[in-house]
């Protein structure tokens, strides 16, 4: 016991009480304790969970639920804890690594896609409609095409010129609707066009049964009414909800705050949390006393597109923080001269939150995984009618 200072031991205690995220918990444990080997980590775990044989047990009071400790260990710890208030002990939040979770989901998608092909001959197919040649869109589309190929889903990239008219674009979408080999359709947004095109009209032209982005008005209506089994769920909100559940945090009964009210993320995110029995507050640019509102959140989802907007001081200690933002800021230290950050001040927020998503590598991979899952689901439903 003497070889570990009290802060390290308290951090170790915290990590053992938080639900695991598979191998990531072990990495966090080793980092917190500062151990150079698994043997030391196992030693600490055994101290915190085991009881001394043949000795009377007694619980030690911690600010979080604890397991009984043996009396000798209580005596060693209590002297340190009494001299330092527990609320002053900072514990780094664990990462909700979207890459790890998305990888697990995609492995399951690949398995099911192979079974579907063997049983019915149907190969799930995703059509991606792009207007113009926006560089960011090109990057995202390449990622989606590659991810689809990795799980056995065919991807069809329909690239259209920037000067296309609205009627011509709608005709292209209608053509994909009629194509029985295409099971999912998305329109890459924003549209890079020289003509005036109503993006909502375009997404509503996609058949609801092929709308794998979950943006069609009919699908949005089902989400608003909590009829999740009758629709395709929007990818980013569904990915966020999956991450929250993977953290082990109970959604039902929690206070959730969603910053942002877009039709793609903020709005449906709030609805999905509400129908999972959270008490939800939606915030936006005109919300008064925003820091105070954020400070009440057990679950905080931020999707406003403003770099490092949410300050660590706003966040409730122990909250789960989901950062959907993707912002590019200058950084002279990097060769590219820029870096990607989220809507939350990550370095500071991690010292307060219990779980937090990184940017990049948090919500982004989950959005792609949910898109592929939706495509597989649509293909499976189609195969049932063959």
Residue 30 backbone class (left: φ over 0; alpha: ψ -120 to 50; beta: rest): alpha
Cα 15 from chain centre = 20
Number of CB atoms found within 10 A of residue 295's CB: 16
Classify burial at 135, counting beta carbons within 10 Å of its beta carbon; exposed 0-12, middle 13-18, buried 19 or more: exposed
351 catalytic? Reply is no
381 catalytic? Reply is no
Provide the pairing of β-strand 69-70 with 57-58: antiparallel
For residues 354-363, one letter each, b for 16 or more C-beta atoms within 10 angstroms of the residue's C-beta and e for the rest, the string is: bbbbbbebbb
For residues 264-289, one letter each, b for 16 or more C-beta atoms within 10 angstroms of the residue's C-beta and e for the rest, the string is: bbbbbbbbbbbbbebebbbbeeeeee
CA separation for the pair 271, 385 (Å, rounded): 31
**Candidates 97, 204, 211, 213; catalytic one:** 213
**Candidates 11, 112, 144, 316; catalytic one:** 144
188 catalytic? Reply is yes
**Candidates 28, 94, 106, 188; catalytic one:** 188
- Retrieve residue 54's tokens: 């043949």
Torsion angle, alpha carbons of 332, 338, 343, 348, to 10: -30
One-character DSSP codes across 2-47? TTS-HHHHHHHHHHHHSPP-THHHHHHHHHHHT-SSHHHHHHHHHH
Close Cβ partners of 261 (under 8 Å, ≥ 6 residues apart)? 267, 270, 282, 284
Provide the pairing of β-strand 94-95 with 279-283: unpaired
Q: Give me the half-sphere count of Cα atoms (radius 13 Å) on the Cβ side of residue 127.
A: 23
Q: Are 247 and 320 in contact (CB under 8 A)?
A: yes
Q: Are 256 and 316 in contact (CB under 8 A)?
A: no
Residues designated as active site: 144, 188, 213
């Amino acid at each position: 016991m003497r070889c570990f200072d009290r802060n390290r031991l308290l951090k170790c205690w915290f990590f053992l009480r938080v639900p695991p995220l598979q191998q990531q918990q072990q990495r966090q444990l080793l980092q917190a304790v500062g151990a150079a080997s698994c043997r030391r980590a196992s030693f600490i775990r055994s101290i915190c969970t085991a009881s001394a044989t043949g000795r009377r047990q007694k619980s030690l009071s911690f600010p979080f639920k604890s397991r009984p400790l043996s009396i000798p260990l209580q005596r060693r710890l209590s002297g340190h804890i009494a001299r330092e208030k527990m609320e002053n002990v900072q514990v780094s939040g664990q990462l909700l690594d979207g890459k790890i979770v998305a990888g697990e989901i995609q492995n399951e998608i690949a398995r099911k896609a192979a079974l579907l092909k063997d049983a019915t001959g149907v190969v799930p197919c995703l059509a991606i409609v792009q207007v113009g040649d926006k560089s960011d869109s090109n990057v995202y589309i390449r990622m989606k095409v590659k991810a689809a190929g990795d799980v056995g889903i065919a991807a069809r990239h329909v690239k259209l010129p920037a000067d296309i008219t609205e009627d011509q674009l709608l005709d292209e979408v209608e053509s994909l609707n009629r194509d029985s080999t295409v099971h999912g359709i998305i329109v890459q947004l924003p549209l890079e066009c020289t003509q005036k095109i109503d993006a909502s009209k375009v997404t509503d032209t996609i058949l609801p049964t092929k709308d794998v982005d979950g943006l069609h008005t009919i699908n949005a209506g089902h989400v608003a009414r909590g009829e999740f089994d009758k629709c395709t769920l929007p990818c980013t909100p569904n990915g966020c909800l999956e991450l929250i559940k993977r953290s082990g945090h109970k959604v039902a009964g929690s206070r959730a705050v969603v910053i942002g009210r877009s039709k793609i993320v903020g709005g449906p995110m709030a609805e999905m949390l509400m129908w999972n029995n959270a008490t939800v507050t939606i915030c936006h640019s005109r919300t008064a006393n925003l820091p105070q509102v954020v400070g009440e959140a057990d679950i905080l989802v931020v999707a406003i597109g403003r770099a490092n907007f949410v300050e660590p001081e706003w966040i409730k200690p122990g909250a789960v923080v989901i950062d959907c933002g993707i912002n590019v800021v200058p950084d002279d230290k990097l060769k590219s001269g820029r870096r990607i950050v989220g809507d939350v001040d990550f370095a500071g927020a991690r010292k307060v939150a219990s779980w937090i998503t990184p940017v990049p590598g948090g919500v982004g991979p989950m959005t792609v995984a949910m898109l592929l899952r939706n495509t597989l689901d649509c293909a499976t439903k189609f195969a049932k009618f063959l």
